[in-house]
Amino acid sequence: MIVAEQKPMEEIAEMIKDFNKILILGCGGCVSVCLSGGEKEVGIMASALKMFVKNNQNRDIEIKEMTISRQCDWEYFDMVKDAMAEVEACVCIGCGAGVQGLVDVYPNVPIFPGLNTGGLAVGKVPGVWEERCAGCGNCILHLTGGLCPIARCSKHILNGPCGGSEKGMCEVDPKTIECVWHLIYERLKSIGKLDNIYKIMPMKDWSTSSDGGVRHLTREDMAKLDAEEEHKKNVELEKKAEEAEAAAKSQG
Amino acid sequence: MSDELKSGSNLEKVFKGGHFAVTCECGPPKGADIEVIKKKASYIKGKVDAANVTDNQTAVVRMSSIATSAILIKEGVEPIMQMVTRDRNRIAAQSDVFGAYALGIRNMLCLTGDHQKFGNHPRAKNVFDMDSIQLLDVVRTIRDEGKVNSGEEVEGGIGMFLGAAENPFGDPFEFRVHRLAKKIAAGANFIQTQCIYDMDRFKTFMKQAVDMGLTEKCYIMAGLTPLKSAGMANYMNKFVAGITIPQPLIDRIKGVEKGQQTEEGIKILMEQIEECRNIPGVAGAHIMAIEWEEKVPELVERAKLLPRPQV
């Protein structure tokens, strides 16, 4: 899932310093699971922000609290139409995609990020999440025993482990970062695929990652359906308009 | 090893001539002070076969290794230009290789580089478009096939004697010799190892390398760093990843008076050099007297490695 953590209250308060009516909008998806942007966190943030602004900016603000099921689909954004019309600004505590989805739908409302989005992670133990996928767009997990060096090696190297691997830990932080290449080695050994690591892995094609510019995913079959429906609608609308015109003429 | 010279550098010819090669480090200044380089060059000129010019080592900003290497050539010292992939992508790296060759640089050490976290700009974005092994492969392809990584032909060939580092003390140990093999397959003509203190482990590593036929394909230099004090030994043992200093060695330095510890460290270095010369497959010593270039002449002299061969 996408993990994120709340920004410091100071930073959020600074963003909204010119506004008195705020909507805090949560998301029922990933950020709800990682306890940073769900319904409960919306409530806690609303109280904390009100207090912080009172104590530090010496003013009262009005906060509206809402949470939608997902902040990555247009249909859900429509559900906050009325609330958006009532407030001066919105603090979005969905992921970075959520903030930008709202910006697309509500061009006249200032939308501020309440979270720092951290990547694609799994929960290791309760309360601890660790990045597992960098979304590079060109998966190599079949070569590395299912463990990703792009997301998990501090230098993203493809021919590891480097000289900074000691007792299974990475030199960048030997206390908290496991050397994923050590793990890959052990994993490949246990599944009888050490040949994979003996071969030189060539340079990666980064054009499928963010290095290739903003990425789009288009499902041609779905997109076509949409186009067909759109076309049908347009035909109907034209037909109706013609009928209305004809009716008007006959009346005239 | 093929008879054909890769670049015809002094270092390559010393190896080819069957001599025990000696290299040292020459760190660029943290600024544009050319006098620092001239001074360091004056200490090491004629005392080593070539000197490594570090590329923003430990991710601390310094004068570029290309510029420093070019200055060293003028000062009569043959450089081994280090290049890390931390700060340059495949476009910049290949461009810099062309530039380095045009400036007369004939030895190059391909490294991934220390993580920026350890340096003076820990908030920097790293590049790591490729790793050291891929960089070796890229430069070898330019040299041997006359093509850049995209397959386009280069204008004018390059000759470059290619090196890499390897740490026999990293984990998992059983994989280390295979990683060495990968570096050699990618294009390494010579290897400089990480600082050796655990001689037994190094000997095991070298035996594996000899058994796999790797020393027939590549010259391996033993990396050695003199310990200046018991404090330095303790620090390196505890805090430098991939370096283990056996306790008897630390105790030996601790056992002498503070004022005598540096001398004890040099004595240890002399013993290590002697020991390495007798390990099958070791083709030279890379003496990393970090920021201690003025000491290099004495170290090389006392190790009976002077005069350096004229090749």
Residue A60 has pLDDT above 80, yes or no: yes
Report B:100-139 residues touching A (Cβ under 8 A): 112-113, 115, 117, 126, 128-134, 137-138
B112, B165, B186 ranked by CB distance to A155: nearest: B112
A6/A115 same-domain check: yes
Tokens describing residue B31: 């600024």
Q: Which residue has the tokens 């083709």?
A: B283
Nearest-angstrom CA–CA distance, B105 and A248: 87
What's the confidence (pLDDT) of residue B3?
A: 78
A39/A99 same-domain check: yes
A172, A179, A186 ranked by CB distance to B115: nearest: A172
A75/A108 same-domain check: yes
A99/A157 same-domain check: no
End of a domain among A119, A147, A170? A119
Residue B91 forms contact with A (CB below 8 Å): no
Inter-residue contact B47 to B297 (CB < 8 Å): yes
Write out chain A residues lying below 8 Å of B165, CB-based: 163
Question: Check: CATH 3.20.20.220 for B10-302?
Answer: yes
Question: What average pLDDT is seen over chain A?
Answer: 94
In a domain? residue A246: no
Inter-residue contact B50 to B300 (CB < 8 Å): no
Q: What are the residues of chain A with a beta carbon less than 8 Å away from any beta carbon of chain B? A: 154-168, 171-172, 174, 179, 182, 185-186, 197-198, 200-203, 206
A90/A141 same-domain check: no
Q: Which residue has the tokens 């390059």?
A: B158
Nearest-angstrom CA–CA distance, B217 and B220: 10
What's the confidence (pLDDT) of residue A230?
A: 78
Average pLDDT over residues A190-204: 97
Distance from CA of A7 to the nearest CA of B (A): 19
In a domain? residue A242: no
A11/A57 same-domain check: yes
Q: Which of A157, A188, A206 to mutate to test the interface with B (most CBs of B within 10 A)?
A: A157
In a domain? residue A75: yes
Write out chain A residues lying below 8 Å of B149, CB-based: 203
CB contact under 8 A, B170 and A156: no
A198/A115 same-domain check: no
End of a domain among A119, A145, A172? A119
In a domain? residue A73: yes
In a domain? residue A245: no
pLDDT over 70 percentage in chain A? 99
What's the confidence (pLDDT) of residue A66?
A: 98
In this complex, how many residue pairs, one in chain A and one in chain B, have their CB atoms less than 8 Å apart? Answer: 91
Write out chain B residues lying below 8 Å of A167, CB-based: 171
CB contact under 8 A, A185 and B241: no
In a domain? residue A231: no
DSSP tag of B216: G
Nearest-angstrom CA–CA distance, A59 and B32: 53
pLDDT digits (tens, 9 = 90+) for A4-51: 999 999 999 999 999 999 999 999 999 999 999 999 999 999 999 999
A158, A167, A182 ranked by CB distance to B131: nearest: A158
Write out chain B residues lying below 8 Å of A163, CB-based: 165-167, 169-170, 194, 241-242
Nearest-angstrom CA–CA distance, A144 and A196: 7
- Domain extent for A160: 137-209
What's the confidence (pLDDT) of residue A252?
A: 61
Write out chain A residues lying below 8 Å of B115, CB-based: 154-155, 164, 171-172
Distance from CA of A212 to the nearest CA of B (A): 13
A155, A159, A160 ranked by CB distance to B115: nearest: A155
Is residue B220 helix, strand or coil? strand
Distance from CA of A232 to the nearest CA of B (A): 47
What's the confidence (pLDDT) of residue B88?
A: 97
A78/A185 same-domain check: no
List C-alpha distances in Å: B134 to A88, B94, B100, B271: 53, 12, 19, 36
What's the confidence (pLDDT) of residue A188?
A: 98
The one-letter amino acid code at A3 reads V
What's the confidence (pLDDT) of residue A225?
A: 67
Report B:167-206 residues touching A (Cβ under 8 A): 167, 169-172, 175, 178-179, 181-182, 185-186, 194
Average pLDDT over residues A186-214: 93
In a domain? residue A221: no
B149, B172, B185 ranked by CB distance to A185: nearest: B172
The residue in chain A having the minimum alpha-carbon distance to the alpha carbon of residue B183 is: A200
pLDDT digits (tens, 9 = 90+) for B19-64: 999 999 999 999 999 999 999 999 999 999 999 999 999 999 999 9
Tens-digit pLDDT profile for chain B (311 aa)?
777 899 999 999 999 999 999 999 999 999 999 999 999 999 999 999 999 999 999 999 999 999 999 999 999 999 999 999 999 999 999 999 999 999 999 999 999 999 999 999 999 999 999 999 999 999 999 999 999 999 999 999 999 999 999 999 999 999 999 999 999 999 999 999 999 999 999 999 999 999 999 999 999 999 999 999 999 999 988 888 778 899 999 999 999 999 999 999 999 999 999 999 999 999 999 999 988 999 999 999 999 999 999 99
CB contact under 8 A, B178 and A198: yes
A97/A205 same-domain check: no
User: How many structural domains compose chain A?
Assistant: 2
Inter-residue contact B52 to B192 (CB < 8 Å): yes
Among A141-155, A206-220, B17-31, B208-222, the minimum mean pLDDT is found in: A206-220
Tokens describing residue B305: 């490695």
Q: Which of B126, B135, B171, B198 to mutate to test the interface with A (most CBs of A within 10 A)?
A: B171
Distance from CA of B160 to the nearest CA of A (A): 21
What's the confidence (pLDDT) of residue A160?
A: 95
CB contact under 8 A, A171 and B165: no
Residue A102 has pLDDT above 70, yes or no: yes
CB contact under 8 A, B130 and A168: no
Instruction: Please report, for the domain that includes residue A92, its CATH number.
Output: 3.40.50.2300
A158, A167, A200 ranked by CB distance to B185: nearest: A200
Alpha-helical segments (H) within chain B? 10-16, 34-44, 65-74, 90-102, 132-145, 173-186, 199-211, 230-239, 247-254, 261-277, 296-302
ipTM of the complex: 0.95
Indicate yes or no: pTM above 0.95.
Answer: no
Beta bridge pairs of residue A63:
A22
What's the confidence (pLDDT) of residue A95?
A: 97
Tokens describing residue B149: 């990584």
Count other Cβ atoms within 10 Å, centred on residue B33. 12
Write out chain B residues lying below 8 Å of A166, CB-based: 170-171, 241-242
Nearest-angstrom CA–CA distance, A183 and A142: 14
Residue A210 has pLDDT above 80, yes or no: no
A21/A114 same-domain check: yes
What's the confidence (pLDDT) of residue A231?
A: 80
